[in-house]
Structure 1
Amino acid sequence: MTLKILVVDNHPMILKLLANFLEKEGHEVMTASDGLAALSVLEVYAPDIIFVDLVMPNIGGDKLCRIIRGIPRFADLFIVILSAIAAEDDIDCKEFGANACIAKGSIKSIQKHVLEVIRHHTDKSPATLEPVANLEDIQYRSITRELLSSKNHFEAIINNMSEAVFELTADGAIIFVNLAALDLCNLAEEKLLAVNIVTLFSAEAQERITTLLAHPERLPQLIEDNPPTLLNGKQVTLHFLELYQKDRTTIILMAKDVSDRRETEQALLANETRFRELFNNMSSGVAVYEATDLGANDFVFVDFNRAAERINKIRKEQVIGRSLLEIFPGAKEFGLLAALQRVWQTGRPEHHPISLYTDNRLTGWRENYLYKLPSGEVVAIFEDVTARKQAEQKLAVESAMNAAVARISRMIISSDSLKDISSALLKEILTLTGSKYGIIDLVDPQTNNLLAMAFSPEIRDMCTMHEENGACVHAPQGLVSWVLENKTAILSNAPLTDYRAKSLPPGPASLTRLVAVPAMFNHDFLGIISVANSPKAYEKRDLATLEHFASLFALAAQKKQAQDHIAHLAHHDPLTGLINRHIFPDRLAQAMILSQRHRKKIALLYVDLDKFKQINDAHGHLAGDAVLIEVAARLRTLLRDSDTVARMGGDEFVVILHDISSKTAVQHVATKIIASLADPILFHDLRLTITASVGISIYPDDDKQIDALLHKADKAMYLAKKSSTTSYIFYEG
């Protein structure tokens, strides 16, 4: 009959010889070198008989037997002890669940008794086996008895320790426990052995222990803080040690039940917690100090609540044990140190009124109440009244802002000059933002250059301004270029290193802070307001102030543009853009004055278009308008910048030629005008052709009166219109 047999022995020769012998007898054999390995085999293998050595690493034979007997499916497994200490140790194999015991002797004697045990089990013999078989083949060894006595003595000591002791494999499997460990876990030994130590603990402790076992280099390790909790609810401190043996390394774990102590600590902690919760949930900041010396030259923090952390923007652990002046260097100037010294010396409470505290880290308004404890410590209860003071300051700023807006608005309504409005605006802005420098610019839409309407004196050198037509013109620099390009406001407290300044023309090196905003009106970009170098960092409030005033400046600039446009319409022909007949006498009068001053002559050319009515009648007024626009453009092209051309009405134009040298020069201009206007004018797919007649009068030769000079040029033009030989005629008196 073939049997399934498991042989468990830590001696490799015994394993090999016994396995070969049993296989030759026709049996199926599995082997294991220690108790843990045997339990792994038993998870997948169900033997009929198991031979177990007693003395083995990683769970001995007696404990392995108890574990196997605790497994229901192995309740009837036939267990045989095969031990070298059977003669020296008084073994009763039935105590730990074995069915038979064979003492190790010679190989032949072992084989003989193994076959007898197998036969007894197979035949189901009712005869009783010897308590220990094969004693006749061995000699008693006193050294073994001494070792066994020492082992028993050691186990007695370990089992009488108050601390629970576990021996573990490197991966945490339990291979030894003392009586205290059994009591701690409320489990029998066979229920603990081979179990992984991690599984005895609650989920939150398992990760800590698993991590520790994975890093043996961290041993020895003592876990006392936040003691882990067992599944049975007990809290324990753990002390891990590494144990080196000849051929293996194990871990010794000593555990101490601290559940009662923890309960006492928790009760004390509950009282402390109640006080601490009240202390920490006060809305007022509380700081507790003790004097550093008998002279109370400084004070050390001994407590600090959450409100104090919030108010002072610093954590409790950053202040405890450190001096007041170290943490808050501004306390002396603030007056708190002197107040603490008085309270500490006199014991009388004191109110330290609302004052502004400031240092290189913190700025805020504080109100303190101080008193001395019986212990000698001084308590400061304080409030942060910064928000209230800021609200008051904000109200004052808004009041000043509203007054400034009212003043500027009155100037705009009164149509004060844009320069006067800009100067007033700049003054208000510098005051409200505390800025050292400022400038208000109009933007030239053609060149994107800036026209300074008002600026601080230092700005002239910073911006490299130059005079142009009586105005201070400069090119945008630094972040002002960014505002001009993006039409978006900017606030930068580090303009020279601001990321937006890359690839832009560099700004003045003396700028430390900058706010610049565009002045917009109905999406039209009219100008830029910039301020710089406030003694403190600019805030959003400063940006909002500038944006508000930029709107006023844009309104004033737009109003000025509208007024200029109305004036332009009053003095210029709306179709051609030339000056009209109303302003022409003034321009002619100015020309006459200059002529007298420089002793030069001027010529007046009266230009009338021929065949213009036919174009209007044949092709409509749009064609006629196109002709007039083109005529005006050609006249402007032919003339010098110093000359003047005006539309007198209908198809009549008048030209003022300044500083003429001779009639020949005038004749040359008249010829060019007639030739230029004779070129066809394109209107859609039409080629329109006109001619011109020109009458000329000379100042002061022909007359010195404006109306008379104009009348004589007009009279000469009519003669030219009737002439069949020439298109221009000088007035002849």
Structure 2
Amino acid sequence: MKSFFPENNSAENKQHERCCGIHAAMRVLAESSTPDEAISKILQTICESLEWTLGEFWTADSKNNVLRCTEIWHNPSVNISEYHTLTRQILFSPGVGLPGMVYHSKKPVWIPDIVQTTYLHHAKIATKEGFHGTIGIPITYENEILGVFIFFSHKIQPPIKELLMILASTGSMVGQFIKRIRAGNALRQAYNNLEMKIKKRTFALVQANKKLQVKIIERKLAEDALNASEARYRGLFENSPVSLWEEDSSAVKTYINHLRAAGINDLNTYFDNYPEEIYKCVAMMKVLDVNKATLKMYEATSKEQLLTGLAHTFDKESFFVFRQALVALSEGQTLFEAEATTRTLRGTKNYVYLRLSIAPGYEHTWEKIFVSLTDITAHKQTENALRRRIDFEKTVASISTKFLVISDFNNAVFKSLADAGQLSKASRTYLFQIHDNGNIVNNTHEWCNEGVRPRIQLRQNLSSATYPWLMENLHAGNIIHIADVSKMSSEAAAEKNEFEKEGIKSLLILPVYAENELAGYVGFENVVSIGPWHEEDIARLRIMAEIIGNAIARKKSEALITHMAYHDPLTNLPNRNLFQDRLQGAIVHAKRTGKIMALMVIDLDNFKTINDSLGHHAGDLLLLAVAERLTKCVRESDTISRTGGDEFILILPEIVYPINAAIVANKILDTLSNPFLVEGHELNITVSIGISLYPVDTSDRDDLIKKADIAMYLSKEHGKNTYRFYKSDMNTHV
């Protein structure tokens, strides 16, 4: 804003320029991808905005407990090559030197003239280079200090409390930025390590499979030896550790021949159309003999007991493998091998390696078929557990990569819930987030398995008081693992009632923390059956919850940095950067719709008098109150911004007549005419308002601002506490 009394406003303008420089430094954080890139630009931006000569960044080396200078920026007009070399060689311990003092205290330091502080190591070097004013700013994240900013000026610089506070806030934002980037790098490294582990474990699985194949070949050799000598057969048969069977399937062969004669050559299609025929074929088989190992495998006390209960040893998978064997033998093969499942007489499921061969000379009748079953249950359980573990680790790794870039947080959460839900065989997975200081919980994301009804619409704006036991455990950091909802304790009666209403049989709930604060929870529900989740699965699902928590924290931090770059730190109104964007958008919209847009510059009359008499703190409180009242005077589609000092600019898009702008101006004058109560003082203020119109006054954005500014000064010339349009005839018309 231009002024008729530049000598009175120079300090204020200076302060405004410094604030703009600090906000520019914040924009550097939003635009930088690495700490090194950001630090150099921030040092330059702050030095240039404060008109200081030199800036340094001292990195905290926690391993060696020292500070070392890793970045220096200085005004190109000065030659400090010797100082630059010396500073790069110096190491400071905590509490030693200016960087060490700031690092140890974790507080900003402003020294008007470092030459007078002889106890600091920097004083000697600074005196030689002609430095005087010095500022030290800690770079912090929560309670951890990551480094120190040091700034030097060739002038003696009296402390400015507000500026020091802003710089300290800048140090905190830089610390958050550095910590976020380091966390991202650590996450990538963890992903790479996890990927290497998966490769190693996959290799181990392959090796295990090779060993299994070797064992299978050994079994085949053993069976071949049995066939080689009939004399040795009975002894080997009875005492073999492998389950051995002798079967007569001649009736099955006759049945197959009958089908062939009837013109049925495609048995696969036939059995697809008539699956019950498979059961008939099983019933036609005659078991001639089994050995001791078979009785042991099927938990039978005698051959008679096994043969009587043989029908109970088949399950759906067994029938499928029998069908494959039947088709293979009918096509002329004399040997069939496959993995299969079978059940003991007590119902226990076993995995076996099946080898079925037709005895030589019986290829056309199937009167003698040898069957061997090798128990591979332990191996399959180990293999399945390893495969499940690998699948889980791959899923967790995949989930972590989804959150490396928070460009589409909602999609990343949904895909992660879907991956985890499918792998854990859950009916429904979801994310609840906590709002309103912990009083409200919202189901923000949900994945449902096929056939499961979504519940997300019914789980909005729920009071956390509805689930006291659940919330207490989550705040304590506990995992809630309920294998059977019907057996929940009485202290969880409210939760049990809600879960049973929704048909939930079992569930697993894991707390989600963002920067050590409970941000919500991830849930896995089973509406089909009861049963626990595996402990290893829970551990990996907890990692997923931690990943989501970190993503939520990163999302909040990035949103905060972006907000600070485009909003005034005092009033939280849009600053000049956001104002320029909104103005350009309003001009484009007005041009497209053919409507008028008004720009209104509002300047407080005699604000400097209030600042000088009551102090800057009172002035800031008054500006906050003015901003609050101005906000109530405009529509949601309007933009009210603070562009510096006591100046506000209002954008009024889509007005029909110029008088509409005059109505808003009168409303503002009336609203601000009421007294303000600031720190016990009743203050009466007035404002001067200047109005320019697009496209009536101009079609150029910068010219539109300039003409509104001129109209504002016309208001001051006409006695203040009024408004003026840029064109005088418009004032007469209105």
TM-score, scaled relative to structure 1: 0.45
Greater helix fraction, Structure 1 or Structure 2: 2
TM-score, scaled relative to structure 2: 0.45
Q: Relative contact order, CA 8 A, sep 6+: which one is greater?
A: 2
